[in-house]
Amino acid sequence: MGKMIAVANQKGGVGKTTTAVNLAACLGHLKNKVLLVDIDPQGNATSGFGIEKRRVSATSYEMLIGEVTAEQVILHTEFAGVDIIPSSIAMAGAEVELVELENRVERLRLALAPVRDKYDYILVDCPPSLGMITLNAFTAVDTVLIPTQCEYYALEGLSQLMATIRQVKRKYNPDIQIEGVLLTMYNGRLNLTNQVVAEIKKFFPDKVYRATIPRNVRLSEAPSFGEPVIYYDKGSVGAHAYAEFTREFLKANRPKK
């Protein structure tokens, strides 16, 4: 059974989708079978794999409201090992529509259950909010991966995120855990960065990855070309950072003897 991981942070601009796209690509490149589920109305993970949202006939929105099955909406990408369930701006309406539907917080879990055994990892790229769509993700997944920028506002966001995860654990998904915290836009030469990192490590003892993601022009450019950074420029600092993070991620997910 594939492990399901939500990539989430309600604060925008922290590298959440960049992490979802590039972790998926790196895992696929290393011979894993990966499904990336885009449930962000912005659909940036979809376009990050070179898929034109205007040409997609069905998305995660139609899957969530029950018009199509997961099998019907999965697209194969041109990148090794990676399939995707695309998203579009229609997903923005799901926040309101889900409230009135049966099993409103379990619809993503139920929709993905039939395809879970086909993948090693299912990554869910969440919207930058803590609404009904993200609640569906947290109810469905095994763990939450939290990319966070090294700034003080991020600390406030982390406490809100953890409060939501605790609520989900209590009400809907008792097995949910924190996968880890990935530091993004990292600059170790700044005193502010080091102070924030120290606070985050207090907040998440033993859950902060050693690998960090720096600011990198190639990481910013890659989405506009519809490619993960390891395909756009495999020699770039950003590509090396995500490759190192993926190795650390896989090491943590090795079956325990």
Tens of pLDDT, residue by residue over 117-136, are 999 999 999 999 889 999 99
CA 103, CA 53: separation in Å to the nearest integer?
28
Asked if 107 and 132 count as a contact pair (C-beta separation under 8 A), the reply is no
Domains of the chain and CATH, by start = 3-252 (3.40.50.300)
CA 35, CA 38: separation in Å to the nearest integer?
10
pLDDT band at 156 (very low <50, low <70, confident <90, very high): confident
The end-to-end CA distance of the chain, in Å, is 18
Angle at CA of residue 32, ends 146 and 129, nearest 5°? 25
pLDDT surpassing 80 at residue 179: yes
pLDDT band at 256 (very low <50, low <70, confident <90, very high): low
pLDDT band at 13 (very low <50, low <70, confident <90, very high): confident
How do 82-85 and 75-76 pair as beta strands?
antiparallel
Candidates 135, 203, 146; CA nearest to 173 is 135
